[in-house]
């Protein structure tokens, strides 16, 4: 699961970049998303969500975020059913894991807040829960202060700043400027 999480983290920022390489970043992201969702389903079938597992929370959040982003008014009915089933499954995982640790609680509230009303109604119907079971904690908004990006961030303007070549050049430039002259001449003699 974390392999696909890393692949998504690497390639999602490159979705808007034009390339003639095969496979394209779009294909890599689509395949990795599909595989991640499949692995989440297999994990649920094999292990369930009742036992505490801090490591499953991040893939659940990533899969839920992808499903919510993909569901809109233009989504075909067959794809909508698949996305909704995945969304309900991963939200159920976050709902169950929230009993074990605070991060799952916070992420569950984020996902539930991003859901459209039909998906919330479906989720409540499947879990057979009423609105009182999930009461918003008023202090949670103040308690959760984090700079952690919940999903993979992709901004076209920031892509150049995060390309490895540019980062290496920038850091190499800083290291050269900070060296003393005698260190650089000693390094040149050793080469």
Question: Mean pLDDT in the chain?
Answer: 75
pLDDT digits (tens, 9 = 90+) for 70-123: 998 888 988 999 999 999 999 999 999 988 888 888 888 888 888 888 988 888
Q: Evaluate whether 124 touches 130 at the Cβ level (below 8 Å).
A: yes
Q: What is the pLDDT of residue 101?
A: 84
pLDDT digits (tens, 9 = 90+) for 18-39: 888 889 999 999 999 999 999 9
Query: How many structural domains comprise the chain?
Result: 1
Asked, for residue 126, whether it belongs to a domain, the answer is yes
3-state secondary structure 108-163: HHHHHHHCCHHHHHHHHHHHCCCCCCCCCCCCHHHHCCCCCCCCCCCCHHHCHHHC
Residue 134: which pLDDT band, with cuts at 50, 70 and 90? low
86 vs 42: CA distance, rounded Å: 12
Q: Between 182 and 90, whose confidence is greater?
A: 90
Asked, for residue 127, whether it belongs to a domain, the answer is yes
Q: Evaluate whether 65 touches 86 at the Cβ level (below 8 Å).
A: no
State which H helix or E strand residue 90 sits in: helix 77-97
Asked, for residue 105, whether it belongs to a domain, the answer is yes
Instruction: Give the domain extent around 85.
Output: 2-158
Asked, for residue 182, whether it belongs to a domain, the answer is no
Q: What is the pLDDT of residue 186?
A: 47
Asked, for residue 166, whether it belongs to a domain, the answer is no
Of 50-64, 67-81, 143-157, 170-184, give the lowest mean pLDDT range: 170-184
Asked, for residue 164, whether it belongs to a domain, the answer is no
Asked, for residue 135, whether it belongs to a domain, the answer is yes
């Amino acid at each position: 699961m974390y392999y696909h999480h890393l692949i998504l983290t690497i390639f999602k920022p490159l979705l808007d970049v034009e390339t003639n390489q095969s496979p394209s970043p779009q294909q890599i992201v689509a395949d990795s998303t599909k595989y991640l969702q499949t692995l989440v389903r297999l994990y649920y079938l094999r292990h369930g969500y009742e036992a505490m597992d801090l490591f499953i929370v991040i893939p659940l959040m990533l899969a839920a975020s992808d499903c919510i982003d993909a569901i809109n008014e233009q989504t075909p009915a067959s794809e909508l059913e698949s996305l909704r089933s995945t969304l309900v499954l991963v939200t159920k995982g976050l709902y169950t894991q929230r009993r074990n640790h605070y991060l799952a609680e916070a992420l569950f509230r984020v996902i539930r807040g991003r859901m459209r009303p039909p998906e919330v109604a479906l989720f409540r119907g499947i879990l057979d829960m009423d609105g009182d079971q999930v009461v918003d904690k008023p202090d949670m908004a103040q308690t959760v202060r984090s700079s952690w990006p919940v999903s993979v961030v992709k901004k076209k303007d920031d892509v150049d700043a995060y390309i490895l070549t540019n980062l290496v050049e920038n850091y190499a430039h800083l290291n050269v400027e900070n060296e003393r002259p005698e260190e650089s001449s000693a390094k040149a003699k050793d080469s």
